[in-house]
Structure 1
């Protein structure tokens, strides 16, 4: 790829990023341009080249941002798949690169959002349909215990439903790559609050869709990352992760 083509790509990526910053809801307007690029561009490098990585990684990062603006509804699968494929190609060349590992982990975490959103909606509907009273009277202690047991059994049954199984299958690689990103960042003294928080969210999400028999270790990992993020100077955890 000649310098002129690279310069055009860099300018296009910068424009898309700036446009998203000013008008996040206009992401669909970028799809035609992005698809025109992804249809003809594959990262096929056979040796590390920092000069090429300097434009390749931002390009994939911005395209992935567009692909998952509407993650709760599944995002844009073809672009998301392209981004994952390019990120994995880059990781082969730069196996300890924190940004690439984090980008892959984020791709998997964002893929899980559709299943997680459906699970959240189902749980809200389920809790809304239940009641803590019987025919207008408070439940007795034994009735409360039966309700707790019933709710526990229902929760365990839900773990075998398609959405839970799918979420776990997607979140496992998310936690794997994000944990690798954190480990690499710690070794390179390049940790950030955002990386810790993203890893915490992945482990917390995995714990929420896993059996009580195994989810303690996922929540333990999440808590450790949250504490580490909270200790980063001038970093504030996102509101949904604050305790």
Structure 2
């Protein structure tokens, strides 16, 4: 009974902390630290209970701060990093083709699982980009993360739907290179060079 009471009290304090609208900076710091820890090796999977707690905590603070860029990006990162384990397994199985990533295995369970996590990532990053534009705080890091999510979603989608995701990724990367002082990684730059010419400006 004492143990149950201690756990219940700890849960209550945690819930009260996350509901305190005056402690946003502390809340964001705590969730981000735990999220980074839970995904210390995302390709091998995450610490699921911690990553899920982070996701639910982001959603809780988002209720009071629906246009907060950091929270929206945190949610995008959470879903994107959760997908990495599925993407790594797909890569090991060699079931993604090399032609722009579009493949004919989109119906396979791993691809379905990956899309289930990548679509929310794409959506939250898109919201974060819009919010950042509204607050004049758009960064190359955010745009690169948004591009990565869209690229990965395209890679596990059917050829008929993959194009829209690749186009979105290219457009994000174009905006990224336009930000003064930000340099794309070699991978993203090569992707933009290879596929950007097929996407209208």
For the criterion TM > 0.5, the same-fold answer is yes
Aligned to 1:165: 112
**TM-score, normalised by the number of residues in structure 1:** 0.68
**TM-score, normalised by the number of residues in structure 2:** 0.82
Gaps of 5+ in 2: 1-6, 191-201
Select the residue among 79, 95, 100 that pairs with 2:50.
Answer: 79
Trace 1:80-95 onto structure 2 (pairs within 5 A). Answer: 80-95=51-66
Select the residue among 17, 28, 37 that pairs with 1:66.
Answer: 37
**Aligned 8 A contact 2:19 2:60 in 1:** no
Structure 1 residue 204, shift from structure 2 partner:
0.4
**Aligned 8 A contact 1:73 1:114 in 2:** yes
**Aligned 8 A contact 2:19 2:61 in 1:** no
**Aligned 8 A contact 1:207 1:215 in 2:** yes
In terms of Rg, which structure is larger? 1
Distance 2:189 2:97 in 1: 25
Aligned to 1:42: 14
* Distance verdict in 2 for CA 1:43–1:234, change over 3 Å: farther
Aligned to 2:188: 241
1:179 matches 2:126: yes
* Distance verdict in 2 for CA 1:62–1:229, change over 3 Å: same
1:198 matches 2:145: yes
* Distance verdict in 2 for CA 1:200–1:101, change over 3 Å: same
Trace 1:125-164 onto structure 2 (pairs within 5 A). Answer: 155-156=103-104, 158-164=105-111
Task: Tell me the SS of whatever aligns to 2:159.
Answer: coil
Task: Tell me the SS of whatever aligns to 2:160.
Answer: coil
* Distance verdict in 2 for CA 1:121–1:237, change over 3 Å: same
Aligned to 1:32: none
* Distance verdict in 2 for CA 1:79–1:46, change over 3 Å: closer
Distance 1:125 1:209 in 2: 7
Aligned to 2:84: 113
* Distance verdict in 2 for CA 1:207–1:184, change over 3 Å: same
Q: State the Cα deviation string for residues 188-220 of structure 1 (Å, max 9, x = none).
A: 111000000000000000001001101111111
Structure 1 residue 125, shift from structure 2 partner:
10
Select the residue among 202, 208, 214 that pairs with 2:155.
Answer: 208
* Distance verdict in 2 for CA 1:126–1:183, change over 3 Å: closer
Aligned to 2:69: 98
